[in-house]
Structure 1
Amino acid sequence: RLNGAARQVMGDLMAARMQAVSLNHAVKVFFYSDHQYKICDDVNDDGTVDYGEGNVQVKDIHSNYHDVTLTKSMNPVFQPRGTASPATTITLSSTTNISLIKYVKVFITGSVKIE
């Protein structure tokens, strides 16, 4: 279950990066609870992605993985060139076995990996 949740988060982050490139403006992922995040884009091109701006996509890992929680270090912003800032680590953990942990890492190059 933890692997599936990590793949879901990684896929959503990669889709946010592709969205930034295809729309030619920044896309930010806001992690706002231990199981939900929003993907927002900078539709007014002011250089700042505001919470709830643009085409908002709300994602909830509990809909498929009720026993997984997540924490983040920062909210990543994907730029139109495919890069990301800041580099971010999202930690996914099992609520049924606290020793099970996966990390989804966003690098400044824009790549996203599971560790």
Structure 2
Amino acid sequence: MKALQIPVKLYIHALTRPLPSQAELPYVISSADLTNISDVYVLLETRVISIEVIEPEPIDVIGKQVDALRAQKERIAAESHRQQSVIDDKIQQLLCIEHSPVDEHELPY
């Protein structure tokens, strides 16, 4: 396996006002220029760094894809189960409603 040198351009921003998620850090380093998104960010400088990455074998890439698909399948199954439970609860609530004749002189509340 050989190592690849991947250049990455980093954008270093200062915050003009604190964000809830950035309460203690007055600076944000990102791989995108955030000044286009909001006026909260002021671009201070950009830097290009090089990251060394070991080139994966094709079988490793396939393995990562399979792992990601399995995780996605689990998330979908969990969300489906959650939604089914909500629907089951609504059905049970409807089935538990007692029908009783309403006296027209009785206030409904």
More helix by share: 2
Q: TM-score, normalised by structure 2?
A: 0.19
Task: Select the structure that is richer in strand.
Answer: 1
User: Greater Rg, structure 1 or structure 2?
Assistant: 2
